[in-house]
Amino acid sequence: EVQLVESGGGLVQPGGALRLSCVASGFTFNNYAMSWVRQAPGRGLEWVSSISGSGGSAYYADSVRDRLTISRDNSKNTLYLQMNSLRAEDTAVYYCAKDLRPGTTGWFDPWGQGTLVTVSS
Partner 1 sequence: DIQMTQSPSSLSASVEDRVTITCRASQGISSWLAWYQQKPGKAPKLLIYGASSLQSGVPSRFSGSGSGTDFTLTISSLQPEDFATYYCQQAATFPLTFGGGTKVEIK
Site residues (vs partner 1, CB under 8 A):
35, 37, 44-47, 50, 59-62, 95, 100, 105-114
Tell the smallest beta-carbon distance from residue 16 to partner 1 (Å): 25
Q: Residue 73 or residue 109: which is nearer to partner 1 going by CB?
A: 109
Name the minimum Å distance from CB 53 to partner 1. Answer: 16
Residue closer to partner 1 (CB basis): 16 or 110 = 110
3-state secondary structure string, the chain? CCEEEEECCEEECCCCCEEEEEEEECCCHHHECEEEEEECCCCCEEEEEEECCCCCCEEECCCCCCCEEEEEECCCCEEEEEECCCCHHHCEEEEEEEECCCECCCCEEEECCCEEEEECC
